[in-house]
Structure 1
Amino acid sequence: MDNIQKEEILKSCRHMFKNTLMETLDIEVIDITEDYVLGKMPVTSKVHQPDGVLHGGASVALAETIGSMASFLLCNTTDFVVRGIEISANHLKSIREGFVYAKASAIHKGKTTQLWEIKITDEEDNLISLVKLTTIALPKKS
């Protein structure tokens, strides 16, 4: 993938995220390669649980967004839609501020189902959450 293709995909992601949960949580896709998709989300009071640390649900929303985007890039999106069908997360460390980064790497790239490992880290590369996401490509209904 060349830089022009990458920039077009990143621009498309910004457009797709308008008026969605991703915009609400300020999630961005910041890098795409043949091997991974990388996103980030600011850790502010908007994504805190009551005691002031990153809410696990916000981490899972970030992970599903980035993993689903990785699946979306694999699929023929003219004929198929991508849906998450299972997600599991282990939250290993808390964070109060800064940014978290989600990196989705493929474990299995099937024609119908895909399995992703998403590592969520902080700005010092500490592992915050480890997430496994299964997605499915479904034919679009006419």
Structure 2
Amino acid sequence: MTDNFTRATGPQTHGAGAAAPDAGHPFLEQLVAHGVPEDMHERFAAHGVGTLVEKLGIVFREISVERVVATMPVEGNQQVAGILHGGASVALAETLGSFAAAAHGGRNRRPVGVDINATHHRPGLSGLVTGTCTPIHLGLTLTTHEIVITNEDGKRVCTARITNMLLQK
């Protein structure tokens, strides 16, 4: 296992019976499992999607500069009252905003979050929530995105806004 601060030293496996990924891409299996499009595998080969994405069960449905969409299950991400944890919603929002900033910044820039806020509108009770991230501002050094998280009925559960700084690699 690796984290966001250390480099992977070899192929990683995730779960019993998992096939070993390509030695040049230690996180290939993880990227595929979480829906990262093939044309973005090289960009995320060194660190994968991150351990929190795995723990939360986030699966990407679409990644582009214009829009990032992913789902996350409510089950397993609940707080003590049995509803979706607000922190899980914020983690989903930050993940989407960071991937969107990475898509905009290209291979030579690395996004780091500098501000995030969220408003929780209603509880996530069951099933999947879907986060849709769209740009508000796409600059050379800063990006700002809005993330709308909805339940399976299309009702808004949370609205978040994130600003990322794009650092030169």
Q: TM-score range by the shorter chain?
A: 0.7 to 0.9
Q: Equivalent residue for 1:129?
A: 158
Distance of 1:39 and 1:9 partners within structure 2:
17
Greater per-residue helix proportion = 1
Q: Which residue in the other structure is 1:17 paired with?
A: 49
Cα RMSD, aligned residues only: 2.0
Distance in 2 separating the partners of 1:54 and 1:10: 30
Match of 1:103 among 118, 132, 146: 132
Mapped partners of 1:25, 1:122: distance in 2 = 16
Give 1 or 2: higher strand fraction.
1
Q: Structure 2 stretches of 5 or more lacking a match? A: 1-35
The share of aligned pairs that are identical, in percent, is 36
Q: TM-score, normalised by structure 2?
A: 0.72
Separation in structure 1 between the aligned mates of residue 55 and residue 153 of structure 2, nearest angstrom: 25
Q: Contact between 1:84 and 1:136, CA under 8 Å: does it hold in 2?
A: yes
Shift of 1:9: 4.0
- Give SS of 2:114's match: strand
Higher relative CO (CA 8 A, sep ≥ 6), structure 1 or 2? Answer: 1
From the superposition, tell whether residues 94 and 114 of structure 1 become closer, same or farther in structure 2 (CA, over 3 Å). Answer: same
| Corresponding residue to 1:58 among 88, 95, 101 | 88
- For structure 1, which runs of at least 5 residues remain unmatched after alignment? 1-5
Contact between 1:10 and 1:31, CA under 8 Å: does it hold in 2?
A: no
User: Whole-Å Cα distance in 1 between the matches of residues 127 and 40 of structure 2?
Assistant: 22
* 1:43 is aligned to 2:74: yes
Larger Rg: 2
Contact kept? 2:65, 2:104, Cα under 8 Å: no
